[in-house]
């Protein structure tokens, strides 16, 4: 029997106002309701209520992973760089990797995902076909130095992921493991109460072939997907096939050149442009030795002069005008900077409404821009035409008009094949006594992101509104009055708890019923049980957090109703 959680003893501070820097619903509400606090950009502290919700998601994920025969392990998050050098990902991940050194100067990284390390573990532990198939998983903290960690726990630089890896000797085995995961993911997201779609995806930096994403539709989502109302076609726009037409980078300028006889500084440039040295600018293209190092595009991408400082010796600055981007009416132009493809939001065509979704791009060979490595996938300075996906564009299967929507990527499953097994020579002894190369799958769920996705999908004007399985309690009892009400609230709480429910009771003294009601709505436990006016008769009011429906019940009726 779980302890009744008394709010008088709970470390919680609810806020009436949204935090100043919050852009998304989950960020606003999880902070206001006292679930999380921001420690640094993209780095979050989980407070008592938040930890409970995170634990509940974790439990569901763990139960369903165990049900498909997954074995839980825990690998380190602090990793030597060598395996990631062997796979090429030490470079491929670029700025996304957190890199560090130990006291002896050896280099390490904080794990963004663990294909390399799991491959090594299995190589160490499994030597015969009899040791396979195997599914291993962990629920662990991951680290990615995301460029724009601004959506609350939706996109952390430190975050919780369930990652699993399957190891098989045959292709059929891999497909089976993949299907097991797919089915488990459906069960997980159903239990979590997350509305979701399964869409084709591109496999990105993981490598490998078949890949699907689980997307939770929500306006705050950073992915765009299309789905067909007529057939089962659904895809992340990153995976939609299209032809890209690279165009000549010289088309963008020069409009004006900054003459730099002396070594130019950021101050020289700023003075020339008539702005302060810490300004951010649109309509600006900066070249160093003929190589473009930054582009500021009308729309939302700006050049931060302060950050450019170190590049500017010597520099040629070219100003770009909106006209330079005009051309094909249905296309938006992207640009490949040294760090990869800039997510250009410039909209060339007046017919394309602001906020329209687009595919992030592909180069001459049709390679997609995702986890782009400039120089490998694209030429630095290369301009790409990016195809806009608009509602009612024809479905590639059946021609019906497509729907376009925003969503949060909550899960991703990959058939990796033998990519990592080849790199690390992962063989087991086969039935015929000969070594057999192992084939792998990798499967991720954003555990902390799922909390954000749930908040986004279920919240209403009053606040959070959790599905029961995920909520920090089954019932939130409110003592709305004085000693009598508090006494009844505590008594009914003990009864509910004895009946196996997880109970939170607002027994705070000196807090008005109004404040308690507002807090209960904000915190979002699915059932609210109020000891109020009719407490002397032993009558309580039960409120459904989602529907707002109320009914009056005696203590015994309330216990019967809630269990
Ligand atoms: P995204 O496209 O949102 O950057 P991803 O494709 O890079 O995600 P994967 O490498 O597929 O992510 O990782 C598996 C899962 O981990 C994702 O489906 C997502 O749910 C979660 N995840 C990835 N990055 C983050 C992050 N920065 N914060 C929270 N969860 C994340
Ligand atoms: Mg990512
Ligand atoms: Mg993704
Ligand atoms: Mg992914």
pLDDT one-digit tens code per residue, 117-162: 999 999 999 999 999 999 999 999 999 998 778 789 999 999 999 9
**328 vs 330: CA distance, rounded Å:** 6
Name the nearest CA neighbour of 160 among 377, 396, 448, 362.
448
Do residues 146 and 163 touch, judged by C-beta distance below 8 A? no
- Is 205 or 40 the better-scoring residue by pLDDT? 40
Q: Is 448 a pocket residue for ligand 1 (Cβ < 6 Å)?
A: yes
* Cα first-last separation, the chain: 14
Q: Is the pLDDT of residue 500 over 60?
A: yes
pLDDT one-digit tens code per residue, 254-272: 334 555 545 456 676 677 6
| 107 burial via Cβ count (<10 Å: 0-12, 13-18, 19+) | middle
Closest-CA residue, ligand 1 atom 5, reads 409
pLDDT one-digit tens code per residue, 450-466: 999 999 999 999 999 99
Separation of 203 CA from ligand 3 center, angstroms? 9
**96 vs 90: CA distance, rounded Å:** 10
> How many CA atoms does the CB half-sphere of 257 hold within 13 Å?
12
Instruction: Provide the 8-state DSSP code for 389.
Output: P
Q: How many other CB atoms are found less than 10 A from the CB of residue 259?
A: 8
Model confidence band, residue 322 (pLDDT cutoffs 50, 70, 90): very low
Q: Is the pLDDT of residue 115 over 70?
A: yes
**236 vs 421: CA distance, rounded Å:** 28
Q: Is 409 a pocket residue for ligand 1 (Cβ < 6 Å)?
A: yes
pLDDT the model gives residue 245: 28
In ligand 1, the atom with minimum distance to the C-alpha of 213 is: 18
Contacts of 141 (CB under 8 A, 6+ apart): 77, 158, 159, 160, 161
Q: Is 159 a pocket residue for ligand 1 (Cβ < 6 Å)?
A: yes
In ligand 1, the atom with minimum distance to the C-alpha of 205 is: 10
For the chain, give the mean pLDDT.
Answer: 82
pLDDT the model gives residue 204: 44
Structure tokens at 377: 């996938």
* Cα angle value 359/363/368 (rounded, 5°): 45
Separation of 553 CA from ligand 2 center, angstroms? 50
3-state secondary structure of 327: coil
- Is 252 or 101 the better-scoring residue by pLDDT? 101
Return left, alpha or beta for 481; rule: phi > 0 is left, psi -120 to 50 is alpha, else beta: left
pLDDT the model gives residue 260: 52
3-state secondary structure of 96: helix
Separation of 10 CA from ligand 2 center, angstroms? 35
pLDDT the model gives residue 295: 55
HEC-encoded secondary structure of 160-225: EEEEEEEEECCHHHHHHHHHHHHHHHHHHHHHHCCCCEEEECCCHHHCCCCEEEEEEECCCCCEEE
> At which residue do the structure tokens 């606090």 appear?
37
pLDDT > 90 fraction of the chain, expressed in percent and rounded? 62
Do residues 266 and 308 touch, judged by C-beta distance below 8 A? yes
**419 vs 208: CA distance, rounded Å:** 7
- Is 348 or 228 the better-scoring residue by pLDDT? 228
pLDDT the model gives residue 180: 98
122-139 CB burial, b ≥16 within 10 A, e <16 = bbeebeebeebbbbbbbb
Model confidence band, residue 332 (pLDDT cutoffs 50, 70, 90): very low
pLDDT the model gives residue 402: 84
In ligand 1, the atom with minimum distance to the C-alpha of 412 is: 18
pLDDT the model gives residue 347: 30
Q: Is 370 a pocket residue for ligand 1 (Cβ < 6 Å)?
A: no
Our separate counts of H helices and E strands in the chain read: 13, 30
pLDDT > 70 fraction of the chain, expressed in percent and rounded? 72
pLDDT the model gives residue 312: 52
pLDDT one-digit tens code per residue, 165-216: 999 999 999 999 999 999 999 999 999 999 999 998 864 444 446 899 999 9
CA distances to 22, 43, 45, 360 from 150, rounded to whole Å, are 8, 10, 15, 20
Model confidence band, residue 226 (pLDDT cutoffs 50, 70, 90): confident
Q: Is 112 a pocket residue for ligand 1 (Cβ < 6 Å)?
A: no
Q: Is the pLDDT of residue 252 over 90?
A: no
pLDDT the model gives residue 223: 82
Closest-CA residue, ligand 1 atom 27, reads 155
In ligand 1, the atom with minimum distance to the C-alpha of 157 is: 27
* Cα angle value 232/233/236 (rounded, 5°): 135
Model confidence band, residue 302 (pLDDT cutoffs 50, 70, 90): low
Closest-CA residue, ligand 1 atom 23, reads 446
Q: How many other CB atoms are found less than 10 A from the CB of residue 229?
A: 11
Do residues 233 and 227 touch, judged by C-beta distance below 8 A? yes
Model confidence band, residue 393 (pLDDT cutoffs 50, 70, 90): confident
pLDDT the model gives residue 151: 85
**411 vs 192: CA distance, rounded Å:** 13
CA distances to 42, 251, 324 from 298, rounded to whole Å, are 27, 16, 11
Name the nearest CA neighbour of 168 among 133, 119, 218.
133
- Is 292 or 542 the better-scoring residue by pLDDT? 542
Separation of 445 CA from ligand 4 center, angstroms? 9
- Is 300 or 459 the better-scoring residue by pLDDT? 459
Structure tokens at 156: 């952390």
Question: In degrees rounded to 5, what are phi and psi of residue 552?
Answer: -95, 135
Do residues 280 and 273 touch, judged by C-beta distance below 8 A? no
pLDDT one-digit tens code per residue, 409-447: 999 999 999 999 999 999 999 999 999 999 999 999 999
Find the ligand nearest to 408 CA.
1
Its ipTM equals 0.99
Do residues 33 and 473 touch, judged by C-beta distance below 8 A? no
Do residues 138 and 108 touch, judged by C-beta distance below 8 A? no
Separation of 446 CA from ligand 1 center, angstroms? 6
| 196 burial via Cβ count (<10 Å: 0-12, 13-18, 19+) | buried
CA 419 from centroid of its chain's CA atoms:
25
**439 vs 122: CA distance, rounded Å:** 12
């Amino acid at each position: 029997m779980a302890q009744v959680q008394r709010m008088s003893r709970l470390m919680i501070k609810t806020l009436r106002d949204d935090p100043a820097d919050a852009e998304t619903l989950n960020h606003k509400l999880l902070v206001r309701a006292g679930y999380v606090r921001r420690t640094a950009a993209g780095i979050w502290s989980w407070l008592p209520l938040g930890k409970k919700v995170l634990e509940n998601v974790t439990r569901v994920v763990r139960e369903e992973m165990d049900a498909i025969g997954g074995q839980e392990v825990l690998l380190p998050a602090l990793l030597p760089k060598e395996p990631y050098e062997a796979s090429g990902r030490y470079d491929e991940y670029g700025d996304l990797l957190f890199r560090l050194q130990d006291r002896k100067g050896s280099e390490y990284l904080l794990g963004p995902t663990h294909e390399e390390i799991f491959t090594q573990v299995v190589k160490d532990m499994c030597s015969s076909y009899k040791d396979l198939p195997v599914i291993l998983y962990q629920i662990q903290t991951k680290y990615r130095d995301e460029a724009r960690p601004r959506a609350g726990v939706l996109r952390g630089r430190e975050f919780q992921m369930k990652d699993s890896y399957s190891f098989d000797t045959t292709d059929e085995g891999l497909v089976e493991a993949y299907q097991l995961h797919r089915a488990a993911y459906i069960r997980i997201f159903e239990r979590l109460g997350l509305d979701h779609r399964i869409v084709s995806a591109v496999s990105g930096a993981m490598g490998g072939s078949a890949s699907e994403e689980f997307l939770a539709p929500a306006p705050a989502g950073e992915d765009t997907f299309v789905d067909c109302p007529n057939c089962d076609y659904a895809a992340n726009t990153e995976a939609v096939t299209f032809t890209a037409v690279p165009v000549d980078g010289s088309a963008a300028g020069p409009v004006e050149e900054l003459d730099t006889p002396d070594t130019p500084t950021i101050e020289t440039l700023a003075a020339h442009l008539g702005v302060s040295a810490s300004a951010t600018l649109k309509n600006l293209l900066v070249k160093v030795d003929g190589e473009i190092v930054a582009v500021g595009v009308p729309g939302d991408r700006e050049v931060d002069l302060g950050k450019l400082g170190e590049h500017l010796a010597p520099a040629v600055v070219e100003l770009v005008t909106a006209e330079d981007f005009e051309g094909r009416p249905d296309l938006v132009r992207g640009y490949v900077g040294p760090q990869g493809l800039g997510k250009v939001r410039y909209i060339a065509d007046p017919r394309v409404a602001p906020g329209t979704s687009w595919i992030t791009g592909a180069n001459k060979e049709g390679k997609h821009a995702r986890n782009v490595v400039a120089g490998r996938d694209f030429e630095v300075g290369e301009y790409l035409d990016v195809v806009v996906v608009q509602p009612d564009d024809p479905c590639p299967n059946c021609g019906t008009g497509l729907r376009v929507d925003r969503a949060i990527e909550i899960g991703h499953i990959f058939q990796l094949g033998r990519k990592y097994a080849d790199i690390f020579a992962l063989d087991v002894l086969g039935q015929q006594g000969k070594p057999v190369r192992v084939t792998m799958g990798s499967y991720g769920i954003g555990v902390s992101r799922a909390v954000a996705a749930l908040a986004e999908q279920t919240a209403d004007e009053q606040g959070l509104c959790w599905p029961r399985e995920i909520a920090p309690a089954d019932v939130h009892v409110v003592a709305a009055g004085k000693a009598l009400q508090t006494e009844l609230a505590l008594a009914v709480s003990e009864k509910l708890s004895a009946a196996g429910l997880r109970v939170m009771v607002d027994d705070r003294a000196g807090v008005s019923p109004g404040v308690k009601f507002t807090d209960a709505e904000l915190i979002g436990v699915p059932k609210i049980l109020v000891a109020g006016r009719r407490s002397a008769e032993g009558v309580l009011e039960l409120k459904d957090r989602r529907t707002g429906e109320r009914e009056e019940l005696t203590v015994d009726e309330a216990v019967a109703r809630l269990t």
